[in-house]
Structure 1
Amino acid sequence: MSHDAPTLDEAVRRLLQEAWHLSGEDGHAAAQLDRLYGRLQEPLHIAVVGPRRSGKSTVVNGLIGDQVAPLPLGDGHDVVTWYTDGAQPHVIAWTADGAARELATTRTTRGLRLDPRTTRSSGITDLKVAWPARSLRHLTLVDTPGADPADDGHRAASEPAVAEADAILYASPEIRATDLHLLHNAQHGAVATATPVNTVIVLTHADQVGGGRIDALLTARQLARRHQRDPAVTATCSGVVAYGGLVALAGRTLSDADFTAVAAIAAAPRDAQDACLMSADRFAGEDCPLPVDADVRRRLLHRFGIHGVRLATTLARTGCATRTELAAELVRRSGLAELREVVTGCFVERRTVLKARTALAGLDRLADRMPGQDGVHLRARIEQLLATAHDFRELRLLAAMRSGQVAFTAEAGAEAQRLLGGNGTDAAVRLGADHELSGGELWDLTADALRRWQQHAEDPRLGLPERRAAAAVVRSCEGMLVGLGR
């Protein structure tokens, strides 16, 4: 591997410059190229999409670490909302004619709220929310209006944001055939076909599985793992993660008053607890015999959900003796850590290749409108880059392994996935090694992996797809050796 070979980012920038020269005096094309080039400088754009009431806002809130979504307008409808990092919270509204203005907001116990008098019938199409959050330093979250597959109006409102997103989090309480069909249809165009779209399905409402039993989150995790072994699911996404949004947010924002109320419920006689926690209606009812006011119980129910109240009460009764302990255990059980790990491993650590993919998709659309041989030439250059860039080859191979098109033994398959960056692109993660190892130790481990996969690539007992896949793993190992140096 040559030290002088351009990186993927450099190759894409060169192709944008080439397209600029081909566009000539076309002002519209020049504006599109300016926007594509600008996107390369911006944080990763992750669109959060899904049906209405699918829990998209709990995904946004969990990743941000605060209750800021949703932001309905004065007439009650939602618009595309962009969450970015900012020193101070503020909201900018955009209208269809490109005008922008800052909106007054109020912070409530239910999150950030807009003044309905300033947004009703205002023609607002997009909101941009600046919020001080460490998690937003490397990404922008795009919360899209919830829609049913047949709802063309809402789909039209969110399609541009989804089409131009670098990655997608698809939120849904369950994986249905309509969800898979929608995700499959999103993978159209030469770039999407050559570089499988990076989508992660988030099983929201995981705390409601089985009627919200105490083991609901555990059951939801098992369900997510089963989905990840389903070829119909793995063909459309990079992973499936179960997430209890209310439990996660309850843990992140647990107050002393909340803990006091939960502890009082946990100290009540078990028969009273069991009777009142059978349903949300019983728990919130005026005749509930628990030693906590009805208003406090309804507040807990709104913030925790009935499963969250059951879980928090059980945890408080069986060992979480302080607010800090209870908050930490709620967050741990919610699946928030797994969700963040998936977003980091699948998206943030691959932001260079994902942003390059977005730029190439934009160039592909531009090539369709270029006259004569200019469009043909640009499309050929795009296809050449897609075919030769190893970053894209890794994505294609990971997708092929997930869908069963390439099949190694369980041990070899797990190692191949790691070395290809399926668990993260850091060298130590690819090698399954301790982050404390020195560069020399990582180099030795990489060299061992390289020799092992060179043998796989030449093994006549393996099928042709597996030998080709092994050769790609060899290429990844060679890239790591160059990066580690010696």
Structure 2
Amino acid sequence: MLAKTPPDNLARRVARGPLFGTRDYDDIALPPPARTRLLERFGQYGIVLACDLTRAGVDSVAALRTELANRSGLNRFRTLLADHFGRRADLIKVAHTLSRTNTLTTNGSARLQSTLDTLKSEITTLELSHTQHFQALRVLTDHYDGALTLSPADAAELLRPTGEHGDSLSDRLGRPADAPGLIEYVETRIDHWSTLALDPTVPPKTANAIRFARRQYEEFLADLL
């Protein structure tokens, strides 16, 4: 069922990490509970790879299992990241994959241990190189979990700089990139979120979301100047 989803659309949805298993999408018929189970069993990488194989003609569970095992090495992992997520603003949340690798065993094989160590290093490097994207995903997760205490207007605005409505500057600002007074608008948003950040009673997760929104607008302003 997932394999019928256009590859780019599926990659974008899976890149949302935990949100893939909780949100409703018009282009994905599989219900959220089933997607959550797939995430827990296969991870983001495994889901995309399994759908790739199904589209390529693998039509039985046994054959799919064999192909997944054959293609689960480091080189395939790197290729998948580059092909599906490397050019996207929202990078795949590989922390989930890293946590799964920590449970793997190598049965004393030095070669397998070396490969596993290299894989962990690659994933950690990606996390450190794309901190902003992981922070955006955390903010979105907290929002959809109902963990934020923002006003309805602020909560709705928060979705834009996080990239929930699109990755372009106009998507993130909610107005055309060549709209008059855009710099002044961004400056007012920085002031607004900076004011919210001054409240010492704001819960930690909400404070983190506020700081993230402010930093995003500061980066938007730098891009516009």
Residue 217 (structure 2) aligned to one of 477, 480, 486: 477
Residue 132 (structure 2) aligned to one of 378, 381, 390: 390
TM-score of the aligned structures, taking structure 1 as reference length? 0.29
Asked if 1:371 corresponds to 2:112, the answer is yes
Asked if 1:429 corresponds to 2:171, the answer is yes
Please give the secondary structure, in 2, of the residue aligned with 1:480.
helix
| Aligned partners of 2:159 and 2:165 also within 8 Å | yes
Identity across matched positions, percent: 19
| Aligned partners of 1:427 and 1:480 also within 8 Å | yes
C-alpha separation between the residues in 2 aligned to 1:442 and 1:454? 18
Counting matched residue pairs gives 167
Q: Which residue in the other structure is 2:196 paired with?
A: 456
Please give the secondary structure, in 2, of the residue aligned with 1:420.
coil
- For 1:384-420, what per-residue CA distance to the aligned partner results, in whole angstroms no more than 9, with x for missing partners? 6436520121122112202202231101111111222
Q: Which residue in the other structure is 2:62 paired with?
A: none
| Aligned partners of 2:142 and 2:205 also within 8 Å | no
Residues 167 and 412 of structure 1: is their aligned pair in 2 closer, same or farther, counting only changes over 3 Å? closer
C-alpha separation between the residues in 1 aligned to 2:32 and 2:115? 36
Please give the secondary structure, in 2, of the residue aligned with 1:422.
coil
Please give the secondary structure, in 1, of the residue aligned with 2:149.
coil
| Aligned partners of 2:161 and 2:173 also within 8 Å | yes
Q: Which residue in the other structure is 1:171 paired with?
A: 29
C-alpha separation between the residues in 2 aligned to 1:464 and 1:190? 32
Supply the AA of the counterpart residue of 1:357.
Answer: I
Q: Which residue in the other structure is 1:352 paired with?
A: 88
Please give the secondary structure, in 1, of the residue aligned with 2:92.
helix
Supply the AA of the counterpart residue of 1:437.
Answer: A
Give the alignment of 1:149-160 within 5 angstroms: none
| Aligned partners of 1:191 and 1:357 also within 8 Å | no
Q: Which residue in the other structure is 2:143 paired with?
A: 401
| Aligned partners of 2:190 and 2:218 also within 8 Å | yes
Residue 206 (structure 2) aligned to one of 443, 451, 466: 466
- For 1:6-52, what per-residue CA distance to the aligned partner results, in whole angstroms no more than 9, with x for missing partners? xxxxxxxxxxxxxxxxxxxxxxxxxxxxxxxxxxxxxxxxxx62xxx
Supply the AA of the counterpart residue of 2:37.
Answer: N
| Aligned partners of 2:161 and 2:217 also within 8 Å | yes
Question: Structure 1 unaligned runs (5+)?
Answer: 1-47, 50-79, 84-138, 142-161, 173-178, 198-347
Supply the AA of the counterpart residue of 1:442.
Answer: L
- For 1:154-187, what per-residue CA distance to the aligned partner results, in whole angstroms no more than 9, with x for missing partners? xxxxxxxx8xx45364216xxxxxx332111122
C-alpha separation between the residues in 1 aligned to 2:100 and 2:203? 37
Supply the AA of the counterpart residue of 1:375.
Answer: L
| Aligned partners of 1:353 and 1:392 also within 8 Å | no
Residue 158 (structure 2) aligned to one of 407, 412, 416: 416
> Could you say which structure has the higher strand fraction?
1
C-alpha separation between the residues in 2 aligned to 1:471 and 1:410? 17
| Aligned partners of 1:419 and 1:473 also within 8 Å | yes
C-alpha separation between the residues in 1 aligned to 2:223 and 2:133? 14
- For 1:35-87, what per-residue CA distance to the aligned partner results, in whole angstroms no more than 9, with x for missing partners? xxxxxxxxxxxxx62xxxxxxxxxxxxxxxxxxxxxxxxxxxxxx6797xxxx
C-alpha separation between the residues in 2 aligned to 1:395 and 1:190? 20
Give the alignment of 1:237-316 within 5 angstroms: none
C-alpha separation between the residues in 2 aligned to 1:481 and 1:406? 25
- For 1:75-111, what per-residue CA distance to the aligned partner results, in whole angstroms no more than 9, with x for missing partners? xxxxx6797xxxxxxxxxxxxxxxxxxxxxxxxxxxx
Residues 362 and 459 of structure 1: is their aligned pair in 2 closer, same or farther, counting only changes over 3 Å? closer
TM-score of the aligned structures, taking structure 2 as reference length? 0.56
Residues 190 and 81 of structure 1: is their aligned pair in 2 closer, same or farther, counting only changes over 3 Å? closer
| Aligned partners of 1:427 and 1:442 also within 8 Å | no
C-alpha separation between the residues in 2 aligned to 1:386 and 1:190? 20
Supply the AA of the counterpart residue of 1:352.
Answer: R
Residues 411 and 360 of structure 1: is their aligned pair in 2 closer, same or farther, counting only changes over 3 Å? closer
C-alpha separation between the residues in 1 aligned to 2:205 and 2:214? 14
Residue 185 (structure 1) aligned to one of 37, 48, 52: 37
- For 1:185-210, what per-residue CA distance to the aligned partner results, in whole angstroms no more than 9, with x for missing partners? 12238975xxxx9xxxxxxxxxxxxx
C-alpha separation between the residues in 1 aligned to 2:37 and 2:172? 31
| Aligned partners of 1:418 and 1:431 also within 8 Å | yes
C-alpha separation between the residues in 2 aligned to 1:363 and 1:425? 26
| Aligned partners of 2:196 and 2:210 also within 8 Å | yes
